[in-house]
Amino acid sequence: MRISALHSGRMCYPKQKILSHQILVWFKNQRPKQLQKDLKIGMHKFSVVTIVKGRRKQLANLLESIKASTLLPVDVQVICMDNTDGIIKPDSLDVNLHLFNDTHNLPLAAARNAGIAATKTDKVIFIDVDCLVSPTLFENMLAHLTAEAIITAYPLYLSNVPENGDFTALKQLAVPHPSRQTIPAGQPVNHLQFWSLIFAVKKPTFQKIGCFDETFIGYGAEDTDFAMTFNKANIKLIFVNDCVLHQYHDKYDPPLNYFESIIENATRYKQKWGVLPMRRWLSAFEKMGLIIINENDEITVYSKPTDEQLKNSISKNPY
């Protein structure tokens, strides 16, 4: 019986040794960076969620910034609260569009829950559609993400909606939020510093917390309620030393455009937690003669904001 050299131990050994050496040299000299990248991708499979209503340019800029990340998500879930018109999916990202019935009530809590439920992985990063992400943001957030923590980052603010999502160039034009820049990174901080502008959470942790409370409808208090709930579940809030850029949009200070939902959600929050949230806004409403808050923190509405009051509350502040 003829034995081939490939199966003859004595004859084959030198060739195997040479081949093994060549493979080692090849891996050492040609592939270390790619191997490290592949390992990082394997360790950090994650999903991204955002919600959009209008804001097509902001969404396009967000997706462009995601494309430049050192780690790319497995999937991007976009919850559309109006329609899918004008949304362009980048070829390099698995973007999934979901229509969500708004019914003009802006059910943000329910939309966030739907987006996170739709993700294809157990690590989720939620990003406000107005944000641009730094190239290293995902990598830094995921490096700190555990089952016992929610991870967030610092916002910087732009004075316009840029023509593109070039984070590096735009960062030089952004300004920090005065109340956020002094928050320490890398350690647990007060849970009330939570803001859904940007956060990472493991899906089992999110489910353990109980998700966002969908009885909060519209704008106001749903973030604070979520913070109270995850704090009660002994989940910590940790900032990483990285940031998002917030693209400018018109706003009201106080937010009279959300007057009714703020009052309704403040009342709901008081029933649930025993204290009133959003004190600064409510105090501003009271000074304008729109509401009165009694000694038991019960709110009585006297009138809705007038067109003149709405006009005067428009703010050009970037944050």
Q: Are residues 83 and 154 in the same domain?
A: yes
238 in the same domain as 131: yes
Omega before 254 cis (within 30°)?
yes
Does the pLDDT at position 34 exceed 80?
A: no
Look at the block and give the residue holding tokens 């019960």: 298
In whole angstroms, give the CA distance from residue 209 to residue 175: 33
Q: Say if residue 27's pLDDT is above 70.
A: no
Q: Are residues 88 and 175 in the same domain?
A: yes
pLDDT of residue 84: 94
- 223-280 pLDDT, tens digit per residue, is 999 999 999 999 999 999 999 999 999 999 999 999 999 999 999 999 999 999 999 9
pLDDT tens digits along 156-195: 999 999 999 999 999 999 999 988 889 999 999 999 999 9
How many structural domains comprise the chain?
3
The residue from 194, 226, 246 where one domain ends is: 246
pLDDT tens-digit readout, 13-24: 344 554 555 544
Residue after which a domain boundary falls, among 231, 246, 261: 246
Query: Looking up tokens 């803001």, which residue turns up?
Result: 195
Burial of 215: CB neighbours in 10 Å, binned 0-12, 13-18, 19+: middle
Both 239 and 297 in one domain: the answer is no
pTM for this entry: 0.87
Q: Residue 201's domain is classified under what CATH number?
A: 3.90.550.10
Do 62 and 128 lie in one domain? The reply is yes
User: Does 212 lie in the same domain as 180?
Assistant: yes
- Whether the pLDDT of residue 42 is over 90: the answer is no
For residue 104, the model assigns a pLDDT of 72
30 in the same domain as 89 = no
Asked if residue 239 and residue 97 are part of one domain, the reply reads yes
What are the start-end ranges of the E strands in 139-194?
A: 149-157, 175-176, 188-189
Query: Which residue, chain included where needed, has tokens 């060549």?
Result: 22
Domain identity same for 237 and 181:
yes
Same domain, 113 and 240: yes
- The three-state secondary structure class of 41 is helix
Give which of 265, 263, 298 is closest to 282, Cα–Cα.
263
Rg (CA), the chain: 25
Same domain for 209 and 257, yes or no, is no
Domain range for 256 is 251-315
Both 176 and 62 in one domain: the answer is yes
Domain endpoint, select from 205, 222, 246: 246
